[in-house]
């Protein structure tokens, strides 16, 4: 079992963040398809297609173990058959709030499966977008077909040129996805996130502000391809990801959840500019 420990700076007051965490209507905007919260009966429920394992209302009903208005929330959640506990602490931070999330006793991530850390990175970025700007990014839809190639899209309030920069400028890439980015922006040029043997390797196609395609290696399989297509105008871009090369029966939910989290981070980084800060992952469920 592992613990996930994430810290996130939010430019909103603890009161605003706590409201978004405990109001069912707000939860249905940034977190889950359906939600029900009743502190008097110790109920903290969320279910539907945006929640791992696609729970219905009965299986998505959790116990609110503790809460302090504007400061602290704790609830239980059965994940992958394990009894886990989520703690969220809010504290004043500069001009906003520092949110600290600890998810205890999470089952170890296994290759091919979705990561609970990716679920939280997607959700917390949506929370930040909602309380700061009353907008949200993408959700991982766990009801979709989980095999074969992946196609995901997101709308970004910026020009295609600006969005393409986030895909091709190593400094920008290191803000939201890469550890040690390397980019030689030409066909045949190197392209790397600094993830070792896994991840992108070589550029296959490039058309600035319109398309970027590169080879992708998954452990010992170098046959995958990731393609980004950009469509839009001055202040709006539709960014589409296609990750191809999976066998028809290959389970892709792990990649779908991971790419959704990174696309949300990219959207926020591009729209917010220099003020956006990457969440701090102090502990992860990616340990095996």
269, part of any domain = no
Which long-range contacts (C-beta less than 8 Å, at least 24 apart) are formed by 260-263? Answer: 260/118, 260/122, 260/138, 260/139, 260/140, 260/152, 261/118, 261/119, 261/121, 261/122, 261/125, 261/140, 262/176, 262/177, 263/137, 263/138, 263/152, 263/154, 263/239
CATH code of 21's domain:
3.30.530.20
Report the chain's mean pLDDT, rounded to a whole number.
94
Residues 41 and 71 in one domain: yes
End residue of a domain, out of 108, 140, 172: 140
Q: Which DSSP string do the residues of 12-27 spell out, in sequence order?
A: S-HHHHHHHHH-HHHH
Residues 118 and 202 in one domain: no
256, part of any domain = no
268, part of any domain = no
Burial class (CB in 10 A: 0-12, 13-18, 19+), 83: exposed
274, part of any domain = no
| Cα–Cα distance, 217 to 60 (Å, whole number) | 36
Each residue's pLDDT tens digit, 160-217:
999 999 999 999 999 999 999 999 999 999 999 999 888 999 999 999 999 999 999 8
Confidence at residue 202, expressed as pLDDT on a 0 to 100 scale: 95
Residues composing the chain: 288
| Cα–Cα distance, 186 to 229 (Å, whole number) | 16
Residues 46 and 98 in one domain: yes
| 274 CB-near residues (< 8 Å, 6+ apart) | none
Residues 136 and 7 in one domain: yes
Residues 221 and 107 in one domain: no
Contact 21, 103 (CB under 8 A): no
Sign (positive/negative) of CA torsion 152, 179, 186, 274? positive
204, part of any domain = yes
**pTM exceeds cut of 0.85:** yes
| 240 CB-near residues (< 8 Å, 6+ apart) | 151, 152, 153, 228, 229, 230, 231
Mean of the pLDDT values across residues 28-54? Answer: 97
Contact 250, 228 (CB under 8 A): no
91, part of any domain = yes
| Cα–Cα distance, 177 to 278 (Å, whole number) | 9
Residues 14 and 136 in one domain: yes
Confidence at residue 258, expressed as pLDDT on a 0 to 100 scale: 95
38 backbone dihedrals φ, ψ, rounded to 5°: -145, 90
216, part of any domain = yes
Residue 145 has pLDDT above 80, yes or no: no
275, part of any domain = no
Residue 214: which of 239, 172, 245 has the closest Cα?
A: 245
End residue of a domain, out of 140, 171, 199: 140
Q: Quote the number of domains for the chain.
A: 2
Confidence at residue 175, expressed as pLDDT on a 0 to 100 scale: 97
| Cα–Cα distance, 76 to 180 (Å, whole number) | 37
Residue 73 has pLDDT above 70, yes or no: yes
CA 200 to chain centroid, in Å, comes to 19
**Structural domain containing residue 162:** 150-250
pLDDT tier for residue 218 given thresholds of 50, 70 and 90:
confident
Mean of the pLDDT values across residues 61-80? Answer: 96
Residues 103 and 12 in one domain: yes
Residues 133 and 156 in one domain: no
Taking residue 145's Cβ as centre, other Cβ atoms within 10 Å add up to 11
Residue 74: which of 100, 108, 109 has the closest Cα?
A: 100
């Amino acid at each position: 079992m592992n613990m996930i420990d994430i810290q996130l700076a939010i430019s909103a007051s603890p009161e605003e963040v706590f409201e978004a965490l405990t109001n069912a209507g707000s939860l249905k905007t940034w977190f889950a398809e359906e939600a029900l919260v009743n502190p008097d009966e110790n109920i903290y429920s969320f279910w539907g297609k945006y929640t791992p394992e696609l729970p219905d209302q009965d299986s998505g009903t959790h116990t609110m173990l503790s809460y302090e208005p504007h400061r602290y929330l704790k609830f239980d959640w059965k994940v992958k058959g394990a009894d886990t506990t989520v703690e969220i602490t809010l504290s004043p931070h500069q001009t906003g709030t520092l949110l600290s999330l600890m998810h205890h006793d999470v089952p170890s991530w296994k290759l091919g499966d979705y990561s609970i850390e990716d679920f939280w990175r997607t959700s917390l970025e949506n929370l930040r977008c909602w309380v700061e700007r009353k907008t949200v990014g993408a959700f991982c839809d766990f009801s979709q077909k989980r095999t074969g190639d992946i196609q995901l899209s997101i709308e970004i309030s910026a020009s295609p040129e600006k969005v393409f920069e986030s895909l091709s400028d190593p400094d920008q890439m290191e803000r939201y996805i890469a550890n040690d980015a390397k980019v030689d922006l030409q066909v045949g040029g190197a392209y790397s996130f600094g993830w070792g043997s896994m991840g992108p390797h070589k550029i296959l196609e490039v058309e600035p502000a319109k398309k970027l395609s590169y080879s992708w290696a998954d452990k010992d399989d170098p046959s995958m391809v990731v393609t980004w297509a950009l469509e839009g105008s001055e202040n709006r871009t539709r960014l589409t990801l296609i990750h191809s090369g999976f066998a028809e029966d290959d389970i892709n939910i792990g990649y779908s959840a991971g790419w959704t989290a990174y696309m949300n981070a990219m959207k926020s980084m591009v729209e917010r500019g220099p003020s956006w800060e990457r969440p701090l992952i102090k502990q992860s469920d990616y340990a095996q």
